[in-house]
């Protein structure tokens, strides 16, 4: 794997021991540092963070809460300068505000939460003294929040997306619960709106059975929401604005090179709890986007564009390429095992052919043609309905119910697609299949897919069945399980420039902190997991980016743990002492590395 040269971040490191330290831990011979924290200013003139005196106005120009996706583009015109784009998935008010009363949040607290959601674009500079990266108050810096205008495009636009404030159904305020994502070859960022259900509620009544069922399928409860946002803006009130909820749950595209640009929500890619959106480009320039729906028993999707890429990263090329996701076909996946069903008993024991594997098919749901006409492939549903109620379209065509499809990403070197299925403790013995072979699945699995990218068939196998390597129900690609790092709840997937796979975890059910692992996919070590980095207590390891010389992770929700409170937080990372925990972006590097032209290119 790793390439040669001093300071190169390769997979020859000595794995980190599983631990519960309230720290970021990296292997011997490596270092790490915080790049930017929740509340640090990102817009020139923005105020310094003051935990005890927060305001919505300050938060709107500061780094948001709970950083998740990270995308880094090198800046063409300046060596050792990079543009970082991150998602700020959600807020945890009881850990943000002293004296927070969940039954009666104040308007200021709610408006701070709106400003702490969304995304940040911030310029970074290599630190000359070591491998660190420091924020720069650059001209591209931008905050996108729950109130930033977006353009909603595609077949969802219509009667189901019109609201009182927006009779066109095309102009949406904000993006919410942006989880994983990806980047495009034309220099934009794709960001998945995930658990948007939690932001909507009502004390009024919603009685139409079809509407109640559609809300239920998306996990939206008819009743007061936990955050009570509907008290402060009626668009979050399901009884007052029935369609606002239909304007969230999309793949969002942001052009970080134009701070004045209006980001786009692409409804041709469907509406569900998009974990992300990652890109594979075929030889003829067709763009294929993969996206999982992170819910127990939900589906894997892909979109195949009918337009092809206009080369280059000029503003004109980007403008045209930002139309690529408007035209094409959306598919949902079925997985079929090749072993007899009687050999898949729910225990995790391998079937007699020695592998959880089989074939799959992509079932078309929705096509948008070059004239912009949308056609449904689902009997009984219009194109508009498929775009808005995509989960129900997947139900109707019999898609395979997976163990929470988290990040899914194609390898830049082999084209094989890797999907993290994080866990599913609700799967029963009667519900197992070869792709989801364990009941009460606490630890998840990683699927390797050999896809006919622009076609409709694929092969698949489980690369990892995660958990305690000493347990009989785990599988590490056939590698010697006594030599691997234990891994549980795989969530995010990334590739280094050499095509090496990296997987990070969320909610490790083995009793130690989450982390980032290298995973061998080829050769005699296939299935070997090596723990490279662990995050502090209660945190999730998000947005991993692994480059030839450095790795970046977003440390999300440090201190979020049962029994943790603002008076006695489970973590004091990163500021230490008695401080409150702050979600932050971290960079790690091999000791001796001090930057160099062309570094940080090629990661995904
Ligand atoms: Fe936001 Fe599915 O993790
Ligand atoms: Ca098999
Ligand atoms: Ca995730
Ligand atoms: Ca990823």
With a cut of 60, say whether residue 6 has pLDDT above it: no
Q: What per-residue confidence (pLDDT) applies to 8?
A: 59
Q: What is the pLDDT of residues 451-467, one digit of tens each?
A: 999 999 999 999 999 99
Q: Strand pairing partners for 25? A: 534
Q: What is the pLDDT of residues 166-219, one digit of tens each?
A: 999 999 999 999 999 999 999 999 999 999 999 999 999 999 999 999 999 999
In whole angstroms, what is the distance from residue 526 CA to residue 297 CA?
Answer: 28
pLDDT band at 312 (very low <50, low <70, confident <90, very high): confident
In whole angstroms, what is the distance from residue 357 CA to residue 466 CA?
Answer: 16
Number of Cβ within a 10 Å radius of residue 221: 15
Counting from 1 in the atom list of ligand 1, the atom nearest the Cα of 177 is 1
With a cut of 80, say whether residue 598 has pLDDT above it: no
In whole angstroms, what is the distance from residue 563 CA to residue 261 CA?
Answer: 43
| Closest ligand to Cα 338 | 2
CB distance 294 to ligand 1 below 6 Å:
yes
Counting from 1 in the atom list of ligand 1, the atom nearest the Cα of 275 is 2
Q: What is the pLDDT of residues 31-61, one digit of tens each?
A: 999 999 999 999 999 999 999 999 999 999 9
The answer to whether 87 touches 94, Cβ cutoff 8 Å, is no
Mean pLDDT of 408-423: 97
SS3 359: strand
CB distance 433 to ligand 1 below 6 Å:
no
Q: What is the pLDDT of residues 136-172, one digit of tens each?
A: 999 999 999 999 999 999 999 999 999 999 999 999 9
* Angle in degrees, CA 6, 126, 591, rounded to 5: 35
Give the distance (Å) from ligand 1 centre to CA of residue 597: 34
Alpha-helical (H) ranges within 120-268 are 209-217
Give the distance (Å) from ligand 4 centre to CA of residue 8: 21
What ipTM was estimated for this complex?
Answer: 0.94
Instruction: Name residue, tokens 């996701």.
Output: 325
Greater confidence (57 vs 80) lies with 57
End-to-end Cα, the chain, rounded Å: 16
> Which residue owns the Cα nearest ligand 1 atom 1?
179
pLDDT band at 601 (very low <50, low <70, confident <90, very high): very low
Distance of CA 302 to the CA centre of its chain: 15
Number of Cβ within a 10 Å radius of residue 460: 25
CB distance 293 to ligand 1 below 6 Å:
no
Burial 328-337 (b: 16+ CB within 10 A, else e): bbbbbbbbeb
DSSP state of 520: -
pLDDT band at 77 (very low <50, low <70, confident <90, very high): confident
With a cut of 50, say whether residue 489 has pLDDT above it: yes
Give the distance (Å) from ligand 4 centre to CA of residue 542: 9
In whole angstroms, what is the distance from residue 580 CA to residue 419 CA?
Answer: 34
Mean pLDDT of 348-376: 97
Residue 341 has φ and ψ, to the nearest 5°, of -55, -30
Counting from 1 in the atom list of ligand 1, the atom nearest the Cα of 273 is 2
In whole angstroms, what is the distance from residue 349 CA to residue 429 CA?
Answer: 13
Q: What is the pLDDT of residues 255-289, one digit of tens each?
A: 999 999 999 999 999 999 999 999 999 999 999 99
């Amino acid at each position: 794997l790793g390439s040669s040269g001093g300071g190169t971040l390769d997979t020859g490191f000595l794995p980190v021991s599983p631990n519960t330290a309230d720290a970021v831990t990296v292997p011997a011979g490596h270092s790490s540092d915080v790049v930017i924290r929740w509340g640090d200013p990102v817009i020139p003139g923005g105020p310094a963070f003051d935990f005890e005196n927060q305001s919505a106005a300050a938060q709107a120009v500061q780094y948001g809460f709970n950083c998740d996706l990270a995308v880094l583009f090198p800046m063409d015109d300046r060596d050792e300068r990079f543009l970082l784009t991150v998602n700020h998935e959600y807020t945890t008010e009881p850990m943000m505000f002293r004296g927070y009363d969940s039954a009666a949040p104040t308007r200021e607290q709610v408006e701070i939460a709106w400003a702490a959601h969304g995304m940040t674009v911030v310029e970074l500079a290599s630190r000359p003294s070591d491998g660190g990266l420091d924020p720069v108050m650059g001209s591209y810096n931008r905050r996108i929040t729950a109130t930033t205008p977006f353009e909603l495009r595609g077949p969802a636009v219509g009667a189901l997306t019109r609201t009182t404030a927006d009779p066109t159904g095309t102009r949406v305020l904000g993006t919410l619960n942006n989880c994983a994502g990806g980047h495009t070859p034309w220099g934009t960022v794709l960001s998945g709106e995930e658990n948007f259900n939690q932001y909507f509620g009502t004390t009024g009544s919603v009685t139409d059975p079809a509407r109640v069922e559609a809300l239920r399928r998306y996990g939206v409860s008819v009743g007061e929401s936990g955050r009570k946002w509907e008290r402060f803006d009626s668009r979050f009130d399901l009884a007052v604005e029935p369609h606002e909820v239909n304007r969230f749950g999309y793949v969002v595209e942001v052009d970080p090179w134009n701070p004045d640009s209006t980001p786009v929500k692409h409804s041709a890619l469907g509406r569900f709890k998009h974990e992300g959106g990652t890109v594979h480009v075929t030889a003829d320039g067709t763009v294929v986007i993969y996206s999982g729906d992170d819910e127990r028993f939900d589906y894997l999707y892909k979109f195949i564009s009918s337009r092809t890429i206009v080369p280059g990263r000029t503003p004109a090329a980007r403008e045209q390429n930002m139309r690529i996701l408007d035209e094409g076909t959306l598919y949902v996946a079925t997985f079929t095992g090749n072993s007899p069903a009687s050999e898949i008993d729910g225990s995790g024991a391998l079937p007699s052919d020695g592998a959880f594997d089989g074939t799959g098919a992509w079932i078309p749901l929705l096509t948008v043609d070059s004239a912009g006409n949308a056609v449904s492939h689902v009997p009984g549903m219009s194109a508009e309905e498929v775009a808005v109620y995509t989960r129900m379209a997947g139900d109707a065509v019999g898609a395979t119910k997976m163990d929470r499809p988290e990040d899914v990403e194609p390898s830049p070197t082999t084209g094989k697609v890797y999907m993290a299925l994080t866990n599913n403790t609700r799967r029963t013995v009667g519900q197992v299949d070869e792709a989801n072979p364990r009941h009460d699945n606490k630890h998840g699995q990683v699927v390797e897919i050999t896809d006919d990218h622009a076609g409709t068939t694929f092969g698949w196998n489980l690369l990892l069945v995660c958990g305690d390597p000493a347990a009989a129900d785990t599988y590490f690609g056939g590698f010697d399980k006594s030599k691997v790092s234990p891994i549980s709840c795989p969530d995010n997937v990334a590739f280094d420039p050499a095509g090496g796979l990296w997987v990070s975890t969320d909610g490790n059910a083995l009793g130690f902190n989450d982390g980032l692992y290298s995973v061998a996919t080829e050769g005699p070590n296939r299935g070997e997991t090596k723990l490279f980095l662990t995050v502090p207590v209660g945190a999730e390891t998000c947005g991993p980016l692994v480059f030839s010389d450095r790795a970046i992770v977003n440390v999300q929700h440090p201190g979020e743990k049962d029994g943790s409170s603002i008076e006695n937080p489970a973590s004091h990372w990163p500021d230490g002492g008695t401080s409150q925990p702050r979600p932050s972006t971290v960079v790690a590097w091999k000791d001796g590395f001090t930057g160099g032209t062309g570094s940080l290119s090629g990661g995904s």
